[in-house]
């Protein structure tokens, strides 16, 4: 008997998982490859970075997700290259032949040509990033407690978040809540509520993809939490001592980067054209031009799938792309015609700022304040992958809401060794 066609999916994010699930009943073998052994619920990653949640609360082992889908094999490993002519992908020690290839490897931070800023201003894409940021935030307060003079203490108690999109807004709000409410009475040499949190945005308002009225609501909520919002200002220089924000130097020992993303190395593997943000230009069927067996989905690709514009870099866009690729492969395997071009359906945008404050935009309907916050919480709990994670996250939020305290304030990793140095 001939072996079943082999579909290789690179990336176990929202797109890759949706693609694998879409192939559940298809007559094919599926290999799902990821560098990590878990699927990450990225929308809550900032809560790991700010000590609300533990990593395991928002990550589910990929093997557990696919244990009962017998045609999926999960493999841990990184891709080193793709050979489209031979239809093979190269891993560190072996090669995998494919009949269909789906690439959904997400995006990485972009420092807009200032890659030297990376060590001083980490971005937030994966669990390791979140633990690194958590370590820096918590160590800053520890260093402030040990500081020998007031200028040094002030620099440790100043936090700059670069980028006013949803990640930057959510991070700034969560850091402000940590400082204002989460550390009360824990330090003897200063009041953590005096910490200065600065959110820098290059354009004239935060959340630029939201309607202006919601941007204004978000800025109001941030101000109420004591976040300084600096719009229309660019970061011109940045190092471990602070940043030049629109020509003015702000001394700060902790800077977080939430400003830009760039495509993953997928374009380089394939040797194909990208847009300015490094995303692979795919056709309206999400296939690489000239390679009908290769799909690129989610953040990794770009095509005008949303009313003539690129789909946004959100989880639903990746999920829909993955499901579309699976549908197209099912059609090809069955000898049916290909489905009509991919169209992204936008259900809405949500961003949370703090306790009882959020903004939600559903096209015509705009919600802010406490109702948006409840909506945000409900949606995020509902979309968590496993029942266990839903229960855990709900319990942790309830606990934090009632007590104002954060559960996961551990400084782990190489943190301590770095206190002196950076």
Residues designated as active site:
170
By CB under 8 A, residue 131 contacts its own copies: yes
By CB under 8 A, residue 416 contacts its own copies: yes
Q: Residue 334's Cα: distance from chain center in Å?
A: 36
By CB under 8 A, residue 76 contacts its own copies: yes
Out of 59, 296, 317, 332, name the contact with its own copies by CB under 8 A: 59
The residue assigned the tokens 């306790």 is 355
Q: Do residues 380 and 44 lie in contact, with contact meaning Cβ atoms separated by under 8 Å?
A: yes
Contact pattern from residue 359 through residue 388 relative to its own copies, giving x for each residue in contact according to CB under 8 A and a dash for the rest = -----------------------------x
Out of 27, 78, 271, 339, name the contact with its own copies by CB under 8 A: 78
Total of residues contacting its own copies (CB under 8 A): 56
By CB under 8 A, residue 405 contacts its own copies: yes
Contact pattern from residue 154 through residue 193 relative to its own copies, giving x for each residue in contact according to CB under 8 A and a dash for the rest = -----------------------------xxxxxx-----
Q: What are the b/e assignments for 34-66, b being 16+ CB within 10 Å?
A: bebebbbbbbbbbbbbbbbbbbebbbbbbeebb
User: How far apart, in whole angstroms, are the C-alpha atoms of residue 322 and residue 97?
Assistant: 20
Out of 128, 191, 204, 273, name the contact with its own copies by CB under 8 A: 128
By CB under 8 A, residue 4 contacts its own copies: no
User: How far apart, in whole angstroms, are the C-alpha atoms of residue 58 and residue 393?
Assistant: 8
State in angstroms the smallest separation of the CB of 208 from its own copies.
Answer: 33
Token pair listed for 245: 């924000």
Local structure of 100: helix, strand or coil = strand
CA torsion, points 239, 229, 234, 240, in degrees to nearest 10? 0
Nearer to its own copies, 30 or 367 (CB): 30
Q: Which DSSP string do the residues of 328-386 spell out, in sequence order?
A: HHHHHHHTPPPPPPP-PPP--EEEEEETTEEEEEETTEEEEHHHHHHHHHHHHHHHSSS
Applying CB under 8 A, which part among 126-134, 151-159, 291-299, 357-365 lies near its own copies?
A: 126-134
Local structure of 304: helix, strand or coil = coil
By CB under 8 A, residue 24 contacts its own copies: no
Burial of residue 6 (number of CB atoms within 10 Å: 0-12, 13-18, 19+): middle
Out of 6, 21, 63, 114, name the contact with its own copies by CB under 8 A: 63
Interface with its own copies (CB under 8 A):
35-38, 54-57, 59, 61, 63-64, 67-68, 73-78, 92-94, 127-128, 131, 138-139, 142, 145-146, 148, 183-188, 388, 391-392, 395-396, 399, 403, 405, 407-413, 416, 419-420
């Amino acid at each position: 008997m001939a072996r079943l066609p082999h579909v290789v999916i690179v990336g176990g994010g929202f797109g890759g998982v949706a693609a694998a699930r879409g192939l559940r009943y298809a007559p094919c073998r599926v290999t799902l490859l990821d560098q990590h052994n878990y699927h990450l619920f990225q929308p809550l990653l900032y809560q790991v970075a700010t000590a609300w949640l533990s990593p395991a609360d928002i990550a589910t082992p990929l093997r557990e997700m696919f244990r009962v889908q017998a045609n999926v094999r999960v493999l841990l490993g990184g891709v080193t290259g793709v050979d489209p002519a031979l239809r093979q992908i190269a891993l560190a020690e072996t090669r995998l032949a494919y009949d269909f290839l789906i690439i959904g490897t997400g995006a990485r931070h972009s420092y807009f040509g200032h890659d030297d800023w990376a060590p001083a201003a980490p971005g937030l894409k994966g669990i390791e990033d979140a633990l690194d940021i958590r370590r820096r935030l918590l160590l800053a307060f520890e260093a402030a407690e040990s500081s020998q003079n007031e200028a040094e203490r002030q620099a440790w108690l100043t936090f700059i978040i670069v980028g006013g999109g949803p990640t930057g807004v959510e991070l700034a709000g969560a850091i402000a809540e940590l400082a204002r409410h989460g550390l009360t009475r824990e330090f003897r040499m200063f009041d953590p509520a005096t910490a200065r949190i600065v959110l820098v945005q290059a354009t004239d308002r935060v959340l630029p993809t939201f309607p202006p009225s919601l941007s204004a609501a978000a800025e109001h909520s941030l101000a109420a939490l004591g976040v300084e919002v600096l719009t229309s200002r660019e970061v011109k220089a940045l190092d471990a001592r602070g940043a030049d924000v629109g020509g003015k130097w702000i001394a700060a020992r902790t800077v977080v980067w939430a400003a830009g993303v760039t495509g993953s190395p997928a374009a380089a593997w394939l040797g194909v054209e990208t847009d300015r943000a490094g995303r692979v230009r795919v056709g309206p069927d999400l296939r690489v031009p000239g390679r009908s067996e290769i799909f690129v989905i989610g953040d990794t690709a770009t095509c005008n799938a949303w009313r003539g514009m690129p789909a946004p870099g959100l989880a639903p866009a990746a999920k829909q792309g993955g499901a579309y690729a699976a549908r197209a492969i099912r059609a090809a395997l069955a000898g049916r015609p290909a489905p009509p071009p991919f169209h992204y359906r936008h259900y809405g945008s949500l961003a949370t700022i703090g306790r009882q404050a959020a903004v939600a935009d559903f096209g015509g309907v705009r919600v802010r304040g406490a109702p948006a916050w409840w909506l945000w919480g409900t949606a995020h709990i509902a979309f968590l992958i496993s029942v266990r994670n839903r229960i855990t996250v709900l319990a942790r939020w309830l606990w934090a809401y009632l007590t104002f305290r954060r559960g996961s304030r551990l400084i782990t990793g190489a943190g301590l060794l770095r206190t002196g140095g950076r």
